[in-house]
Structure 1
Amino acid sequence: MADVRSETESNSPLDVAPRTAAAYLDPHYWNERFAAEEHYEWFKDYSHFQHLLRPFLSPSHSVLEIGCGNSRLCEELRRDGVADITCVDISPVAVERMQNRLRDIGLEGIKVVQADMLDMPFGGESFDVVIEKGTMDVLFVDSGDPWKPRPATVDKVMKMLQGVHKVLKPEGTFISISFGQPHFRRPLFEGQGFTWSVDWKTFGEGFHYFFYTLKKGRRMSDNKECGSERPSMPSISLLHEELEDENYIFRTTICEELET
């Protein structure tokens, strides 16, 4: 998946937004969207979280981006010195268009592969860094009560996390950029069998996005334990462009579920 659009794009975020949040789970929706849409960045573009991501990157690292969509994150990482990048997306349309775009701009060193994030075709300990930006959040659009998600949702999320844990090298890092607050994500990230630490920071001028870092081989949490009480929803003070952005629609759906 991939809120900043180029000036040459004709579609607005609202033009391609689905009628219901559940449509985000439909691969056909993504094929139709990517066929019509040139570029869309979910959860801000690279410039907003570059300072958080750079400490985990090295020119020698192999990086996997899950759910690349039509994001330009891989291009930014390549220009930032990362030489070995693999992008995956479930949509064959997104993959083909990404391959064509990278070829047209002459950017080498990026492999784009069609793959399901619940069944990734890579061997164990293949990547130093795995990044997802908004992709895992899609699994929660019909999860029900966020304090007790539907078992089917939990099963899918755990399957994704198990796949990420498997392909990470020892001491590798999983970066998850999400709307999901720590009191919802930590019980999943800290599931049985995962040998990684869980830490997070926030970024964003309006509402906050969460930047999670899970370091394999370090089973501990660096942040304080979350309380058992349900926290109140943070107030949303958005910039004008965020009010017109599809991220706002997505966040509103999550907030409505949380308040019920």
Structure 2
Amino acid sequence: MDTLPKSNTEYGTKTYWEERYTREGSDHTFDWFKTYRDLLPIFEREVPDKSGRVLMLGAGNSTLSEDMYRDGYHHITNIDFSETVIDQMRQRCADLTEMEWEVMDIRELQLADASFDLVVDKGTMDALMCEQGDVWDPSEELMENVRREVDEALRVLKVGGKFIYITFGQPHFRSRHLKRDAFHLEIHTIGDAFHYFVYICTKINPQESTAQ
């Protein structure tokens, strides 16, 4: 089944994803970049307390949330702007009773301030960045869309909480989008032949950022 778009810019559109998830059907799953097994050392080190609230941005039909749930992270809220995939995954994961699935735009979260301990983005921000043009000088629209996502992630995180972003995007392309006075940013590289990057943004007190 051909699910590739005619242009990479389609990755940023709701229409493309609705059509793709409809064609693939409810039994299909797909993980961008890395699986939970690959990322387990990162989660064990950065989020050892599995009792906190987790927000999965652009969950899609990835198995990441299911695998995390079965490993003890039970309080997971999954959001995606595709009604189709949210319905599919809600049915697929019906036995994971503490898991939540909501239709929502990552740039405008209908969620309370400081209500999550962990926010995860595995490739979702990359979809916002698929546009024609110069990758060294992205458009104002792209910059604004990414800014809104990161600002919303920051808003819903508790102090001490972490925003973990997994991507193939290299630091000289991605770091500028994540730098905030209220974030402490760390970057880790994983993989052998092909490198992936894990950006870990820890929310700090405003007093701490002023003191730095």
| Alignment gaps of 5+ in structure 2 | none
Q: Do the aligned residues in 2 keep the contact of 1:143 with 1:153 (CA within 8 Å)?
A: no
Q: Which residue of 2 aligns with 1:175?
A: 164
Q: Which residue of 2 aligns with 1:40?
A: 30
Residue 126 (str. 1) matches residue 132 (str. 2): no
Q: Which residue of 2 aligns with 1:186?
A: 175
Letter in 2 for 1:144: G
Residue 141 (str. 1) matches residue 148 (str. 2): no
Q: Which residue of 2 aligns with 1:249?
A: none
Q: Which residue of 2 aligns with 1:98?
A: 89
43, 65, 68: which one aligns with 1:53: 43
- What is the alpha-carbon distance in structure 1 between the residues aligned to residue 84 and residue 209 of structure 2? 38
- Structure number with higher strand proportion: 2
142, 151, 173: which one aligns with 1:162: 151
Letter in 1 for 2:150: L
Kindly state the Cα deviation for residue 25 of structure 1 after the two structures are TM-superposed: 1.5
- What is the alpha-carbon distance in structure 2 between the residues aligned to residue 145 and residue 138 of structure 1? 16
Q: Do the aligned residues in 1 keep the contact of 2:183 with 2:201 (CA within 8 Å)?
A: yes
RMSD: 1.5
- What is the alpha-carbon distance in structure 1 between the residues aligned to residue 64 and residue 20 of structure 2? 19
- What is the alpha-carbon distance in structure 2 between the residues aligned to residue 143 and residue 128 of structure 1? 35
Kindly state the Cα deviation for residue 203 of structure 1 after the two structures are TM-superposed: 1.4
Kindly state the Cα deviation for residue 211 of structure 1 after the two structures are TM-superposed: 0.6
TM-score, structure 1 as length reference: 0.75
Q: Do the aligned residues in 1 keep the contact of 2:12 with 2:129 (CA within 8 Å)?
A: no
Aligned residues: 203
Q: Do the aligned residues in 1 keep the contact of 2:9 with 2:131 (CA within 8 Å)?
A: yes
192, 201, 207: which one aligns with 1:205: 192
53, 56, 60: which one aligns with 1:65: 56
- What is the alpha-carbon distance in structure 2 between the residues aligned to residue 150 and residue 28 of structure 1? 22
Q: Do the aligned residues in 2 keep the contact of 1:43 with 1:178 (CA within 8 Å)?
A: yes
Letter in 1 for 2:45: P
- What is the alpha-carbon distance in structure 1 between the residues aligned to residue 34 and residue 201 of structure 2? 20
- What is the alpha-carbon distance in structure 2 between the residues aligned to residue 125 and residue 144 of structure 1? 36
Q: Do the aligned residues in 1 keep the contact of 2:56 with 2:77 (CA within 8 Å)?
A: yes
| Alignment gaps of 5+ in structure 1 | 1-10, 221-260
Percent of aligned positions that are identical:
34
Q: Do the aligned residues in 2 keep the contact of 1:143 with 1:150 (CA within 8 Å)?
A: no
Kindly state the Cα deviation for residue 59 of structure 1 after the two structures are TM-superposed: 2.3
- What is the alpha-carbon distance in structure 2 between the residues aligned to residue 205 and residue 86 of structure 1? 31
